[in-house]
């Protein structure tokens, strides 16, 4: 049983063959037009011209057509490879972003430490501060501040003195 080539391989040589076909068709048309208009000879006699300048010109154009097919083929291959690489990198980026922090994170309701994956919940070294956990798995950096609700609980209203210690 013969192995069928991959579709991308078959498609890769299409422009090369197109350049070759165009070159051969051009050679035959040129021979026919040259023989009919200029010399009145047959197509078969003009396929291989006796004039060296005519042969040189046709050969040069033939090489240019084939060269264009090869060049176009290389450009298409590079474009396919670049597109495949871009898709691969995009998929890798999507995987990295969704996998970085996903799923359930066992977090302490009091101190907000996160239990390390697969670790024993009763051991102290199984827990890690949330800042350390996220910084180790992402590019995030932390700065600390106090939200307004916590500020009220921790410090009270700074513009109004605490009068709970006074009997009024």
Neighbours of 92 (CB within 10 A): 10
Q: Are residues 37 and 108 in the same domain?
A: no
Whether 155 maps to a domain, the answer reads no
Q: Are residues 90 and 132 in the same domain?
A: no
Confidence of residue 57 (pLDDT cuts 50, 70, 90): confident
- Between residues 125 and 87, the one the model is more confident about: 87
Question: What's the rounded Cα separation, in Å, for the pair 21 and 16?
Answer: 9
Whether 137 maps to a domain, the answer reads yes
Q: What's residue 87's pLDDT?
A: 94
Q: Are residues 72 and 83 in the same domain?
A: yes
Percent of the chain with pLDDT over 70: 80
Q: What's residue 40's pLDDT?
A: 66
31 pLDDT more than 90: no
Q: Are residues 74 and 57 in the same domain?
A: yes
54 pLDDT more than 70: yes
Q: Are residues 84 and 117 in the same domain?
A: no
- Whether 84 and 120 have beta carbons less than 8 Å apart is answered as no
Q: Are residues 56 and 89 in the same domain?
A: yes
Whether 52 maps to a domain, the answer reads yes
Q: Are residues 39 and 116 in the same domain?
A: no
Q: Are residues 66 and 53 in the same domain?
A: yes
Q: What's residue 85's pLDDT?
A: 95
106 pLDDT more than 90: no
Confidence of residue 89 (pLDDT cuts 50, 70, 90): very high
Question: What's the rounded Cα separation, in Å, for the pair 112 and 115?
Answer: 10
Whether 21 maps to a domain, the answer reads yes
Question: What's the rounded Cα separation, in Å, for the pair 107 and 7?
Answer: 51
- Whether 70 and 19 have beta carbons less than 8 Å apart is answered as yes
Domain holding 126, by residue range, is 103-142
Of 145, 98, 106, give the one whose Cα is nearest residue 122. 106
């Amino acid at each position: 049983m013969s192995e069928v080539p991959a579709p991308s391989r078959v498609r890769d040589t299409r422009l090369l063959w197109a350049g070759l076909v165009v070159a051969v068709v051009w050679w035959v048309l040129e021979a026919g037009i040259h023989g009919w208009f200029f010399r009145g000879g047959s197509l078969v006699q003009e396929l291989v011209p006796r004039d060296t300048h005519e042969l040189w010109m046709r050969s040069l154009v033939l090489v240019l057509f084939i060269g264009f097919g090869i060049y176009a083929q290389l450009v298409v291959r590079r474009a396919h490879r670049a597109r495949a690489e871009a898709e691969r990198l995009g998929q890798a980026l999507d995987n990295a972003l969704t996998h970085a922090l996903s799923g359930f994170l066992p977090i302490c309701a009091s101190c907000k430490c996160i239990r390390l994956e697969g670790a024993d919940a009763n051991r102290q070294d199984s827990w890690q501060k949330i800042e350390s956990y996220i910084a180790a798995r992402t590019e995030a950096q932390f700065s600390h501040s106090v939200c307004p609700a916590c500020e009220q609980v921790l410090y009270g209203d700074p513009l109004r003195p605490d009068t709970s210690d006074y009997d009024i």
